[in-house]
Amino acid sequence: MDNQTSVSEFLLLEFSKVRELQIIHFILFLILYLATVTGNLLIIAAIAFDHHLHTPMYFFLMNLAMQDIGTVSVTIPKAAINSLMNIRYISYSGCIAQVLFFMFFLGSDIALLTVMAYDRYVAICNPLQYTMVMNKGACTQMVGSVWIACLLNAALHSGGTFANTFCSYVVEQFFCETPQLLKIACADLQHIEIGFVVLSTIIGFGCFIFIVVSYTQIFTAVMKIPSIQGRKKAFSTCLPHLIVFSMFFVSLCFAYLRPTPSTASDLDLLFTIIYSILPSLLNPIIYSMRNKDIKVSLSRLFTSEIII
């Protein structure tokens, strides 16, 4: 393009030129979106309406559910509509909004998972101090700090990305992903956003190390529990958290740290789906649906609705 500042829209990845496959893509995206939103809304409702679940662990879980709804709402609806309408474009302002809110929710996901690891560490390793350390004020401050810090980080990322001019308007991904935008950016200001990505990566690795160290302490404490049933229960609440975070973190590093290939590949799409969609879909199942308290709360919620 001759005048790079005149870009008014971008073209996103086209899954297929075959109309039948486009409809299939739309249906799959719709199913993923509805399943994710429904599962997380159920968790929010269960925690909000059951005062027995007004504890730090479930408070963090409710915020994680809200974050998960936000993550998929930024990317999936636009991709689904594009497949249904047989279009590829997204407006320039829409692309900015996607980068801003996706980076906001993405950062919040990592931060909230880190806070939840700390919550489990205090609960298992220092149970006598749990009430004092994880009081209502402290939990509110933690979550508030997560949202504010991640919003500022997202604003830096979106500002650094769109400070560039673009030598192409074709984004080889189903949403406006920062590495793909940097690939088509002219080289004048590209180093600014690369610096932000490196900084965020360092912070992300810090969260990862914190979680690993926390769970090392947790597992050490769990192994000292004399009851086999008690150890099994503690492991069942800790291992899924660590597994999901590891899957999320590895796929995120693959997408953001490796050199971006010149052409899109199925592997790129797979890893993008893993870190941008699957955690939000699996979190309600792993963190909540296997939880007895959540199941009881949901049964009470549905029973009251039926009676009404």
What angle separates helix 190-223 from helix 228-257, to the nearest 10 degrees?
A: 170
Q: Give 25 or 268, the one with higher predicted confidence.
A: 25
The answer, yes or no, to whether residue 301 has pLDDT greater than 80, is no
* pLDDT level of residue 3 (50, 70, 90 thresholds): very low
Whether the per-residue pLDDT at 13 is higher than 80: the answer is yes
Q: How confident is residue 100, by pLDDT bands cut at 50, 70 and 90?
A: very high
- Containing H/E element for 90? strand 89-91
CA dihedral 100, 241, 224, 124 (to 10 degrees): 50
More confident site: 40 or 247: 40
**One-letter amino acid identity for 215?**
Y
Mean residue pLDDT of the chain comes to 83
- Predicted confidence at residue 2, as pLDDT, reads 44
| For residue 1, pLDDT beyond 50 | no
- Using 50, 70 and 90 to split pLDDT, how confident is the model at 98? very high
Contact 71, 98 (CB under 8 A): no
In this predicted structure, the answer to whether residue 235 has a pLDDT above a threshold of 90 is no
Greater model confidence, 80 or 258: 80
pLDDT score of 93 more than 70: yes
CATH topology of domain 11-307: Rhopdopsin 7-helix transmembrane proteins (1.20.1070)
pTM of the complete model:
0.86
Q: Where are the domains of the chain?
A: 11-307
How far apart, in whole angstroms, are the C-alpha atoms of residue 47 and residue 26? Answer: 32
Please tell me the distance from the alpha carbon of residue 205 to that of residue 212, in angstroms, as a whole number: 10
pLDDT in tens, 163-222: 878 888 899 889 998 888 888 888 666 566 667 777 777 888 888 889 888 888 888 888
Helix (H, G, I), strand (E, B) or coil at 16: coil
Decide if pLDDT at 28 tops 90. yes
Burial of 305 (0-12, 13-18, 19+ CB in 10 A): exposed
Q: What percent of the chain has pLDDT over 70?
A: 86
Banded pLDDT at 300 (limits 50, 70, 90): confident
pLDDT tens string 48-91: 988 888 899 889 989 999 999 999 999 999 999 999 999 999 99
Closest of 222, 252, 253, 227 to residue 239, by C-alpha:
222
Amino acid at 183: K
From the list 107, 97, 198, the residue with the least C-alpha distance to 146 is 107
pLDDT for residue 30 is more than 90: yes
